[in-house]
Amino acid sequence: MKRGWLALLAAAGSAAAQPLLAPLDGPGPLPPPPWREVLLPKQTLPRTRFALVDIDAARALRIESPRSYGNLVHELAPPADAARQLSWRWRLERALDGAALQRKAGDDAAVKVCVLFEHAIARLPFFERQQLRLARLLSGEPLPAAALCYVWDPQQPAGSVLPNAYTRRLRWFVLQGSGSPIGRWRSEQRDLRADFLRAFGDEASELPPISAVLVGADADNSGGDGLAYVAELELR
């Protein structure tokens, strides 16, 4: 009987240790499911190019955005309500000329890592609730009521927090900004609860469950051509 309980405890510990995100890695050209590509509705723009490559003796996701749009999304089902930390390494190789996160005409990122939350839509202001419902209907995607997007943007000071130019439901956190050296790896670790409350503390007092994580880039507004790498992305 004792051995039976030990086996159950060992199995439970093994299950708890399972990563919440499948690695941005694999033998093929792209990360395997549940990672999937998500584009704009009826997109006619070029797609952002994703490819798994070996660089500096490690495996990484290469992200190239030639006047393009595209994301790789990893949904969490059920949503993760215990995750608190997100960490990764990234490297900006080629910045986007003309990117300016404060303006719709420059709302582009050569590399972004985003966290989407199961934030209660009832907490949103009335007009934003209606906008979100319409956007969900038109896109056919479960667009989040709140999202944090970590970005490398040489045009902004590191530490800046900005609302997205199109919707306040997304907030930009500039982690690497003006003065950050291009072509070098940087490691990041974020306290998601602290970041969420900084961005959406007027709507919530606790961190909602996480519904998805995405990695992407876009240059459709500025018409630039960015290049970056992301590796070792972990949620825990």
Q: Residue 134's domain is classified under what CATH number?
A: 2.60.120
Residue 98 phi, psi (nearest 5): 90, -5
pLDDT at res. 6: 47
pLDDT at res. 14: 43
Indicate whether 185 belongs to any domain: yes
Indicate whether 1 belongs to any domain: no
Q: Is 151 in contact with 178 (CB distance < 8 Å)?
A: no
Indicate whether 8 belongs to any domain: no
Indicate whether 3 belongs to any domain: no
Indicate whether 194 belongs to any domain: yes
Indicate whether 26 belongs to any domain: yes
Q: Is 26 in contact with 35 (CB distance < 8 Å)?
A: no
pTM: 0.87
Tens of pLDDT, residue by residue, the chain (236 residues): 445 554 444 444 444 456 899 999 988 999 999 999 999 888 999 999 999 999 999 999 999 999 999 999 999 988 888 889 999 999 999 999 889 999 999 999 999 999 999 876 777 677 676 777 777 777 777 777 789 999 999 999 999 999 999 888 899 999 999 999 999 999 999 999 999 999 999 888 899 999 999 999 999 999 999 999 999 999 99
pLDDT at res. 3: 53
Indicate whether 181 belongs to any domain: yes
pLDDT at res. 131: 75
Q: Which helix (H) or strand (E) holds 115?
A: strand 109-117
Total domains present in the chain: 1
Q: HSE-up of 221 (CA within 13 Å, CB side)?
A: 17
Q: Is 210 in contact with 235 (CB distance < 8 Å)?
A: yes
Separation of CA 48 from chain center = 15
pLDDT at res. 124: 67
- CA gap 231, 234 in Å, rounded: 9
* Structural domain for 213, as ranges: 22-235
List the beta bridge partners of residue 163. Answer: 171
Indicate whether 151 belongs to any domain: yes
